[in-house]
A and B are shown apart, each in its own frame.
Chain A
């Protein structure tokens, strides 16, 4: 079956622009995660959804970052007034159950954001 997909795969933005990154999780997966991965670093947690509820947004670096999953399936990560330090790969992951940690997470290929 289809895995997690993300679009666009690459995004170039001018500093100050708003961007929206899309994640299509595996169908039926309850949990959805967003991570940010800087060059040469491991992924860092941004936020977690269980169905449409955003249960943890502690990793969002500033109030310029906003995520939603209104119908409990597709999710969008929006970054307002992008800055150069926002340049990174943004990874989306989903898992079939509501309990994280002990459950395998399935990752998408990521969106590489470059802010000029």
Chain B
């Protein structure tokens, strides 16, 4: 079963760019890398998904190197409302394996 490794927690100030890196050494050839965000007392919410190189949407960017053994979620100019847990994951069969995620705290 493929595993992901990401920092347990990160702190940032408002307005800064935040980069969260995830390691996934044994990702399968056809696996997509997906990031979810979860606020307290809410279900996770899809942020971004990619296979290789760079993907950007209105919320974040996802950088995936050629070997695909890691990925970096980039949040530009974070605000207090970006305080949440961020999960890097990819599917295992039908399931999403969330792991413990990275708890991001944004302060003024």
A contacts, CB < 8 Å to B: 4, 31, 33, 35, 40-45, 48, 55-56, 58-59, 91, 93, 100-102, 104-110
Please determine whether A55 and B98 come into contact, CB atoms closer than 8 angstroms.
no
Q: Is the CB of A42 within 8 A of B100?
A: yes
User: Does B65 belong to the interface (CB within 8 Å)?
Assistant: no
Q: Residue B42 contacts which of A31, A33, A100, A109 (CB distance < 8 angstroms)?
A: A109
Contact status of A104 and B46, CB under 8 A, knowing A42-B99, A45-B95, A56-B93: yes
Is the pair B32, A102 in contact by a Cβ cutoff of 8 Å?
Answer: yes
Which residues in window 35-52 of B have CB below 8 A to A?
A: 41-46, 49
Main secondary structure, interface of B, reads loop
- Say yes or no: B101 contacts A42, CB within 8 Å: yes
Interface bits B85-101 vs A (CB < 8 Å: 1, else 0): 10100110111111111
Once A42-B101, A43-B98, A48-B94 are accepted as A-B contacts, the answer to whether A105 and B31 lie under 8 Å apart by CB is: no
Given A43-B44, A109-B41, A109-B42, check contact A104 B49 (CB 8 Å). Answer: yes
Q: How far is the CA of A56 from the CA of B93 in the complex (A)?
A: 9
Is A93's CB under 8 angstroms from B43's CB?
yes
Which residues of B lie under 8 Å from residue A93 when comparing CB positions? 43
Chain A residues closer than 8 Å to B91, beta-carbon distance: 100-102
In the complex, chain A residues whose CB is within 8 Å of the CB of B90 = 101
- Chain B residues with CB under 8 A of A58: 93
- Cβ distance A95 to chain B, nearest Cβ, rounded Å: 10
Q: Which one of A33, A101, A105 lies within 8 Å of B46 (CB-CB)?
A: A105
> In the complex, which residues of chain B have a beta carbon less than 8 angstroms from the beta carbon of A31?
94
